[in-house]
Amino acid sequence: MTATAQPLVEATTLSKWYGQVIGLNDVTVSVPAGVTGLLGPNGAGKSTFMKLMTGQLKPSKGTIAVFGEPIWGHPHLFFRIGFCPEQDAFYESMTGLEWLTGLLRLNGLDEKSATTAAQHSLVTVDLVEAADKKIGSYSKGMRQRVKLAQAIAHDPALLILDEPLAGMDPIGRRKTIRLIKDWARAGKSVIVSSHILHEIEAMTSNILLIHNGRILAEGDVHQIRDLIDEHPHTVYIRAQHPRELARTFLEHDDVLSLKVESDAVVVQTARPDAFYSRLTDLAASSESGEIAEITSPDDNLQAVFQYLVK
Amino acid sequence: MRAPSYWQASLRIFELSLGEMLWSRRTIFMALVVGSPVLLAGVIRAIEAAGIAGFRVESLRINGATIFGMLIWVLYLRFIVPVLGIFYGTALIADEIEDKTITYLFTRPIPRGAVLVGKYLAYLTCTILVVLPSVMLVYFLLVPIGSASLVSSFPSLVTDLGLLALGLAVYGSLFGFVGARLKRPVVFGLVFAFGWEQAALIFPGYLRRFTVAYYLQALVPHAMPEQSTLGAVQALFRDAPSGLVSLAWLALFWLGFLFLAARTVERREYVLEQ
């Protein structure tokens, strides 16, 4: 991990509990500048940690500071932070442009500057053609992208992204990953969460492993890479022609098992990197019909975490 | 970039929320609520026009201005205004929490209290825009009945409109605070408006001072027919403070609850269900 003068986010004995349920347990960690991946299975405490670092939740115990200041009760820090939440929630009757402009006005921009920044942001996420359509009519992938657009629109120094690739099609994923990398290349920072190692790995090698509300490990992603590869990776692909897609998959020996559903294929692969790469090419070429959505249940990651905590 | 002031932030939240509020499912409910007196007034007018019978309360023939006054007093002030206050006021923050859209507002460089104030302003604009035209329609339908003069009763219409706006403002801030503070705000609101307020107004003594209705009805310009039951009930409720005192208390409730609501949102942690 690269040491910097001031960490972006610094948590000290940070705990959060919801009644009897522990969301985060005694976490002490410093997040440096650059891209950091927060990796853990569903329910591990990723979202709780992100809500604490965006001041939506108050720590039950301990402290959390962003840019050296406690985030709770210090809204001025949001000039420097952009947050993309996990939930699929919007003002459905507004257009993408109206929504972004309205939110940017809350960042102190006048109407004209807000509209310009909103348009620029929509161009960045490749959503300019849908700018004047109601968000309620957007596809899942478009909704993810407009959510990302509101996080980057005010050009923050730190982006905090909670499962930004969930539900995106392969092309959208590739573009979003590129956007995050470009963001980091421009000298800005990103903290991104996912339950899929492959996704995190595509963006950064610096990760925080979180499980059962605790940070299990921090450092280079390659150190746990081998462990992950020992466990088959499950991918759910919603597609126009699942049978045709399944036939294509069977031509490769890294596919361990296949299950064809009415509108989807569920694949277990031994080499997720190679598989995802082929999948993106397939989606781009549309050879086997349109691929609408890719999700990965976290069973494989869960197995790795169980191994790690033994 | 400079952070918007508290007031600017509130206005921007207002701009962002007004359209959403106007075109929400709740507006259909509101249209039904404020549409019913208009429908009633239309029926009364039709009966009068058909010359079937004059409108009477306990055998007393009453004119359109009196019927209008009764509707303002019984239907608008005692029912419609509190109901709208409950269903909109308690939802100011609760809707954003339920829809999980509050995240976008709470991760902006503005005070959280400004979110509540902006949404409150949107509520007030939205309800006033719907309630006041309804009152005017009822006025124009009813007041000409029985040869009452529109011109002479116009000042009392202006007072009625102001009074209803004040009622919406006070109930809205009260239930805005309840919505920001409690988990089941609608239940509390209904019990307060239709349990506590109704009961406290009937009992003699100081309890009625802890209601909004006590001060509101002291400002109602209409008198019921003196020998009717309604007249007697109004006389009972007429044990009220002067207009100035009522206005002062209502202003205190209004600003006090709005302040408490904004402070609650500022300090309270809202956990979104996963």
**R_g of chain B, CA atoms, integer Å:** 20
What pLDDT is attached to residue B55?
A: 61
Q: For residue A48, what is the nearest residue in chain B, using CA coordinates?
A: B271
Q: Are A55 and A75 in contact (CB under 8 A)?
A: yes
Q: Is pLDDT at B234 greater than 70 in this prediction?
A: no
Dist CA B10 CA B7 (whole Å): 5
**Residues near A113 by beta carbon (within 8 Å), at least 6 away in sequence:** A104
- pLDDT (mean) for B166-183: 95
Residues A22-63 have pLDDT tens digits of: 999 999 999 999 999 999 888 899 999 999 999 999 999 999
Q: Tell me if ipTM is over 0.90.
A: no
Does the pTM surpass 0.95? The reply is: no
Residue where the block lists tokens 């962002």: B16
Q: How far apart are CA A145 and CA A84, in angstroms?
A: 10
Q: Cβ distance B113 to B7 under 8 Å?
A: no
pLDDT of residue A3: 44
Residue B259 distance to chain A (closest CA, Å) = 17
Instruction: Give the pLDDT score at A1.
Output: 43
| Higher-pLDDT residue of B236, A104 | A104
- Specify the pLDDT at position B80: 94
Q: In what order do the strands lie in the sheet with A35-39?
A: A81-84, A158-162, A189-194, A35-39, A206-211, A214-220
Average pLDDT score over residue span B61-89: 88
**pLDDT tens string A195-237:** 888 788 889 989 999 988 999 888 877 776 666 666 677 888 8
For residue B7, give the chain A residue with the closest CA: A106
Across the interface, whether the CB atoms of A83 and B103 are under 8 A apart is answered yes
Contact B105 A106 (CB under 8 A): yes
**Residue A80 pLDDT > 70:** yes
Q: 3-class SS at B61?
A: strand
List pLDDT tens digits, range B3-29.
Answer: 889 999 999 999 999 988 888 888 888
Under the banding of pLDDT at 50, 70 and 90, the label for residue A164 is very high
What mean pLDDT value characterizes chain B? 87
CB contact under 8 A, A55 and B20: no
For residue B110, which phi and psi values (nearest 5 degrees)?
-130, 155
A108 touches chain B (CB under 8 A): yes
Looking at beta carbons, which residues of chain B come within 8 Å of A81?
107
Identify the closest residue of chain B to A85 by CA–CA distance: B103
The string of DSSP codes covering chain A is ----SS-SEEEEEEEEEETTEEEEEEEEEEEPSSEEEEE--TTSSHHHHHHHHTTSS--SEEEEEETTEE-TT-GGGGGSEEEE-SS----TTSBHHHHHHHHHHTTT--HHHHHHHHHHHHHHTT-GGGTTSBGGG--HHHHHHHHHHHHHTT--SEEEEESTTTT--HHHHHHHHHHHHHHHHTT-EEEEEES-HHHHHHH-SEEEEEETTEEEEEEETHHHHHHHHTS-EEEEEEES-HHHHHHHHTTSTTEEEEEE-SSEEEEEES-HHHHHHHHHHHHHHTTT--EEEEE--THHHHHHHHHHH-
- Residue B57, helix vs strand vs coil: strand
Residue A2 confidence (pLDDT) = 44
> What's the pLDDT at A270?
79
Mean pLDDT of A67-86: 96
Answer yes or no: are the C-beta atoms of B168 and B131 closer than 8 Å.
Answer: yes
pLDDT at A256: 85
- Whether residue A150 lies within 8 A of chain B, CB to CB, comes out as yes
Q: How many CB pairs under 8 A join A and B?
A: 80
- Binned at pLDDT 50, 70 and 90, residue B237 comes out as low
pLDDT of residue B143: 83
Does the CB of B25 have a partner CB in chain A at under 8 Å? no
DSSP B162: H
A94 to chain B, any CB pair closer than 8 A? The answer is yes
The DSSP symbol for B145 reads: G
Residue B223 has pLDDT above 60, yes or no: no
The alpha-carbon radius of gyration of chain A (Å, integer) is 20
User: Tokens for B267?
Assistant: 């300090």
Instruction: Say whether pLDDT at A175 is over 60.
Output: yes
Q: What pLDDT does residue B53 have? A: 60
pLDDT at position B120 over 90:
yes
Question: What is the tens place of the pLDDT at every residue in A241-271?
Answer: 889 888 888 888 888 888 888 889 999 887 8
- Å between A98 CA and nearest CA of chain B: 9
> Residue B3 carries which DSSP code?
P
pLDDT single digits (tens) A110-150 = 999 999 999 999 999 999 999 999 999 999 999 999 999 99
Average the pLDDT over A159-172 and give the result. Answer: 90
Q: What is the mean pLDDT of chain A?
A: 88
Question: Do A206 and A219 form a contact (C-beta atoms < 8 A)?
Answer: yes
For the segment B163-169, the average pLDDT, to the nearest whole number, is: 96
